[in-house]
Chain A
Amino acid sequence: MELVLSLGIGILAGSGVWLLLRPRTFQVIIGLALLSYAVNLFIFSTGGLRTGAAAILQAGEAGTLARYADPLPQALVLTAIVIGFATTALLLVVLLATRGLTRTDHVDGREREP
């Protein structure tokens, strides 16, 4: 299973990086979204892949790692998802404003000279 997931992460990251290097703003936004999936999954995977581990503690009990999933990477990723959403929104609006001002959607604000 690890192989499948790491290949998936690799493909997400590769597609994201490819798009990041493209000249159009929309491509960059999409690329960032893909790259953040990859990174979030990677952080998540540092806690180990556990199918069937309980996510919720039994009331009144101090949990152990043997029975429960590692909560720390999850908390980190949860934060990352929300922050990623906020920055994507900001990037989108900034790029739209740039497009309005410069009349181009090239990332440098002007078309490359031929």
Chain B
Amino acid sequence: MQHTATGTEPVTTASGVTLRVNGTAHTLDVDHRTTLLDALRERLGLTGAKKGCDHGQCGACTVLVDGRRANSCLLLAVAQDGTEITTVEGLAGDAGDGELHPLQRAFLDRDAFQCGYCTPGQLCSAVGLLAEAAAGHPSYVTPPDTGSPDGPASPGGPAGLTPAEIRERLSGNLCRCGAYPRIVEAVADTAAEAAR
């Protein structure tokens, strides 16, 4: 606890928060400046989410918050009380020893990574992408005459994910190794599998 310059008003700089990550609740005191990314990596030992830029420019820190993808470097941990957070460690079955998520399997099958540092973010982003597409969310490259603004729409099904759609929807996740063509194939494989 710190005090203001006048010494009269106590200023709280840390608070207790309960983070629910991959189904497990963690209660901890966090500095208000702590990002969700740093809380995951430095406090909870969940280093799957990566710090590439810390400014929301590269996507390596992407996690799912209440099912939606988000850059965890741009979220303050203290504001995440009550949310359900999923990291790459939570995509597979039990504790990573279980069955891989279909996207993880597809990334392995397609060699959709090299150094692996962007991979957790690409995977979490792709999980979010598939859900958004299934819910009918259009992207910049979705033809304007398809779909409806009022809800789930015809082109939004995963089967409608063309390579151009996947590229557009994953463009927030940089890969300096240049594994993009294989990543797009892996996501397309998974979308096609899900559509069957």
Whether chain B is bound by chain A comes out as no
Interface residues of A (CB under 8 A from B): none
Interface residues of B (CB under 8 A from A): none
